[in-house]
Amino acid sequence: MNFLRANIPDVVICEPTIHGDERGYFVETFRADKLESFLGYKINFRQDNESKSSRGVLRGLHYQLAPAAQTKLVRVIQGRVLDIAVDIRKGSLTFGKHVAVELSAENKKQMLVPRGFAHGFVVLEDDTIFAYKVDNYYSPENDRGILFNDNDLNIDWQVPPSELNLSAKDKVQPKLSQTNDLFEYGMNYYND
Protein backbone atom coordinates (compact mmCIF):
# COMPACT_ATOMS: atom_id res chain seq x y z
CA MET A 1 0.00 0.00 0.00
CA ASN A 2 1.24 3.47 -0.91
CA PHE A 3 0.43 6.53 1.23
CA LEU A 4 0.46 10.08 -0.15
CA ARG A 5 -0.09 13.36 1.65
CA ALA A 6 -2.80 15.48 0.02
CA ASN A 7 -2.59 19.23 -0.64
CA ILE A 8 -3.48 19.54 3.08
CA PRO A 9 -0.78 17.23 4.51
CA ASP A 10 -2.85 15.87 7.41
CA VAL A 11 -5.21 14.25 4.89
CA VAL A 12 -3.75 11.05 3.47
CA ILE A 13 -4.58 9.25 0.23
CA CYS A 14 -4.10 5.49 0.45
CA GLU A 15 -3.41 3.65 -2.80
CA PRO A 16 -3.49 -0.11 -2.37
CA THR A 17 -1.60 -2.60 -4.49
CA ILE A 18 -4.07 -4.58 -6.59
CA HIS A 19 -3.12 -8.17 -7.41
CA GLY A 20 -5.24 -9.35 -10.32
CA ASP A 21 -5.45 -12.03 -12.95
CA GLU A 22 -8.13 -13.68 -15.10
CA ARG A 23 -9.84 -14.95 -11.91
CA GLY A 24 -10.32 -11.52 -10.36
CA TYR A 25 -8.26 -9.54 -7.86
CA PHE A 26 -6.99 -9.38 -4.29
CA VAL A 27 -6.26 -6.18 -2.36
CA GLU A 28 -5.33 -5.34 1.24
CA THR A 29 -7.70 -2.54 2.22
CA PHE A 30 -6.29 -1.84 5.68
CA ARG A 31 -3.05 -2.51 7.58
CA ALA A 32 -2.85 -0.72 10.94
CA ASP A 33 0.92 -1.17 11.24
CA LYS A 34 1.70 0.41 7.85
CA LEU A 35 -0.76 3.28 8.22
CA GLU A 36 0.32 4.09 11.78
CA SER A 37 3.98 3.96 10.77
CA PHE A 38 3.29 6.49 8.01
CA LEU A 39 1.18 8.76 10.24
CA GLY A 40 3.37 8.59 13.32
CA TYR A 41 0.44 7.96 15.66
CA LYS A 42 -1.92 5.11 16.52
CA ILE A 43 -5.51 4.79 15.35
CA ASN A 44 -8.00 2.52 17.04
CA PHE A 45 -10.88 2.09 14.62
CA ARG A 46 -14.03 1.15 16.54
CA GLN A 47 -16.88 1.13 14.04
CA ASP A 48 -17.42 0.32 10.36
CA ASN A 49 -20.21 2.01 8.38
CA GLU A 50 -21.63 1.47 4.90
CA SER A 51 -24.11 3.36 2.75
CA LYS A 52 -25.67 2.79 -0.66
CA SER A 53 -26.75 5.81 -2.69
CA SER A 54 -27.92 6.94 -6.11
CA ARG A 55 -26.14 9.46 -8.33
CA GLY A 56 -26.50 12.99 -6.99
CA VAL A 57 -26.84 12.07 -3.33
CA LEU A 58 -24.67 14.42 -1.28
CA ARG A 59 -23.87 13.50 2.31
CA GLY A 60 -22.11 16.12 4.40
CA LEU A 61 -20.25 18.10 5.40
CA HIS A 62 -20.20 16.30 8.78
CA TYR A 63 -17.96 16.10 11.84
CA GLN A 64 -18.13 15.35 15.54
CA LEU A 65 -16.79 17.52 18.34
CA ALA A 66 -14.41 16.28 21.04
CA PRO A 67 -14.58 14.11 23.04
CA ALA A 68 -16.35 12.21 20.23
CA ALA A 69 -14.23 13.57 17.35
CA GLN A 70 -13.59 11.02 14.61
CA THR A 71 -10.88 10.05 12.17
CA LYS A 72 -12.41 8.35 9.12
CA LEU A 73 -10.86 5.98 6.59
CA VAL A 74 -13.22 6.04 3.60
CA ARG A 75 -13.48 4.01 0.40
CA VAL A 76 -15.88 2.97 -2.35
CA ILE A 77 -16.80 -0.69 -2.82
CA GLN A 78 -19.06 -0.15 -5.85
CA GLY A 79 -19.47 2.95 -8.02
CA ARG A 80 -17.80 6.37 -7.68
CA VAL A 81 -17.85 9.41 -5.38
CA LEU A 82 -16.15 12.75 -5.10
CA ASP A 83 -14.88 12.76 -1.53
CA ILE A 84 -14.23 16.03 0.33
CA ALA A 85 -12.34 16.87 3.53
CA VAL A 86 -12.50 20.49 4.82
CA ASP A 87 -10.00 21.82 7.36
CA ILE A 88 -12.03 23.29 10.24
CA ARG A 89 -9.11 23.83 12.64
CA LYS A 90 -9.05 27.51 13.65
CA GLY A 91 -5.51 28.83 13.36
CA SER A 92 -4.46 26.35 10.67
CA LEU A 93 -2.79 27.80 7.57
CA THR A 94 -5.28 25.72 5.53
CA PHE A 95 -8.40 26.63 7.55
CA GLY A 96 -11.45 26.53 5.26
CA LYS A 97 -9.50 24.81 2.46
CA HIS A 98 -10.41 21.36 1.21
CA VAL A 99 -9.12 18.18 -0.37
CA ALA A 100 -11.20 16.64 -3.18
CA VAL A 101 -10.47 13.11 -4.42
CA GLU A 102 -12.44 10.77 -6.64
CA LEU A 103 -12.78 7.39 -4.96
CA SER A 104 -14.09 4.49 -7.00
CA ALA A 105 -14.44 0.74 -7.08
CA GLU A 106 -12.01 0.84 -9.99
CA ASN A 107 -9.17 2.91 -8.49
CA LYS A 108 -9.65 1.49 -4.95
CA LYS A 109 -8.18 4.65 -3.44
CA GLN A 110 -9.04 5.52 0.14
CA MET A 111 -8.87 8.80 2.02
CA LEU A 112 -7.95 9.24 5.67
CA VAL A 113 -9.89 12.20 7.06
CA PRO A 114 -8.39 13.13 10.45
CA ARG A 115 -10.07 14.72 13.44
CA GLY A 116 -10.43 18.44 12.87
CA PHE A 117 -11.89 18.07 9.39
CA ALA A 118 -15.47 18.10 8.10
CA HIS A 119 -16.21 15.31 5.65
CA GLY A 120 -18.69 14.84 2.83
CA PHE A 121 -19.13 13.16 -0.51
CA VAL A 122 -21.30 13.32 -3.59
CA VAL A 123 -22.24 10.18 -5.48
CA LEU A 124 -21.22 10.19 -9.16
CA GLU A 125 -22.77 6.85 -10.19
CA ASP A 126 -25.99 4.99 -9.34
CA ASP A 127 -25.86 2.14 -6.82
CA THR A 128 -22.65 3.37 -5.21
CA ILE A 129 -21.61 1.60 -2.02
CA PHE A 130 -19.47 3.73 0.30
CA ALA A 131 -17.71 2.25 3.34
CA TYR A 132 -15.71 3.78 6.14
CA LYS A 133 -14.01 3.08 9.43
CA VAL A 134 -14.21 5.54 12.34
CA ASP A 135 -12.15 5.69 15.49
CA ASN A 136 -14.98 6.93 17.71
CA TYR A 137 -18.62 5.95 18.00
CA TYR A 138 -21.45 8.03 16.57
CA SER A 139 -22.49 10.67 19.10
CA PRO A 140 -25.71 12.58 18.30
CA GLU A 141 -24.96 15.27 20.92
CA ASN A 142 -21.56 15.97 19.31
CA ASP A 143 -22.73 15.71 15.69
CA ARG A 144 -22.21 18.90 13.68
CA GLY A 145 -22.10 20.04 10.06
CA ILE A 146 -21.12 22.79 7.64
CA LEU A 147 -23.27 23.90 4.70
CA PHE A 148 -22.16 22.00 1.59
CA ASN A 149 -22.44 25.00 -0.73
CA ASP A 150 -20.86 27.64 1.52
CA ASN A 151 -19.31 30.04 -1.03
CA ASP A 152 -16.28 30.57 1.22
CA LEU A 153 -15.37 26.88 0.80
CA ASN A 154 -15.45 27.08 -3.01
CA ILE A 155 -16.14 23.35 -3.50
CA ASP A 156 -16.91 22.12 -7.01
CA TRP A 157 -19.13 19.11 -6.32
CA GLN A 158 -19.07 18.15 -10.04
CA VAL A 159 -22.84 17.57 -10.06
CA PRO A 160 -25.26 20.35 -11.09
CA PRO A 161 -27.10 21.80 -8.06
CA SER A 162 -30.46 20.84 -9.61
CA GLU A 163 -29.40 17.16 -9.55
CA LEU A 164 -28.25 17.07 -5.91
CA ASN A 165 -30.21 15.08 -3.35
CA LEU A 166 -29.59 16.10 0.28
CA SER A 167 -31.13 15.26 3.62
CA ALA A 168 -33.27 17.97 5.26
CA LYS A 169 -30.51 18.36 7.89
CA ASP A 170 -27.74 18.92 5.33
CA LYS A 171 -29.73 21.60 3.48
CA VAL A 172 -29.74 23.87 6.55
CA GLN A 173 -26.29 23.42 8.12
CA PRO A 174 -24.52 26.66 9.09
CA LYS A 175 -21.80 28.25 6.99
CA LEU A 176 -18.27 27.86 8.31
CA SER A 177 -18.21 31.53 9.36
CA GLN A 178 -21.47 31.07 11.31
CA THR A 179 -20.35 28.32 13.67
CA ASN A 180 -18.19 28.36 16.77
CA ASP A 181 -18.25 24.55 17.01
CA LEU A 182 -14.83 24.02 15.47
CA PHE A 183 -11.41 22.67 16.40
CA GLU A 184 -8.29 24.54 17.49
CA TYR A 185 -5.19 23.96 15.39
CA GLY A 186 -2.39 22.34 17.38
CA MET A 187 -4.66 20.73 19.97
CA ASN A 188 -4.25 16.99 20.48
CA TYR A 189 -7.65 15.40 19.87
CA TYR A 190 -6.29 11.85 20.18
CA ASN A 191 -6.17 11.53 23.98
CA ASP A 192 -8.92 8.98 24.42
Q: Could you give the residue numbers annotated as active site?
A: 62, 132
Give me the half-sphere count of Cα atoms (radius 13 Å) on the Cβ side of residue 107: 15
Geometric angle at alpha carbon 32, from 121 and 23, rounded to 5°: 75
> What residues contact 65, with CB distance under 8 A and at least 6 apart?
142, 144, 181
Between the alpha carbon of residue 76 and those of residues 15, 50, 113, 141, the distances in Å are: 12, 9, 14, 28
Helix, strand or coil, per DSSP, at residue 162: helix
Q: Could you tell me how many helices (H) and strands (E) the chain has, helices first?
A: 2, 15
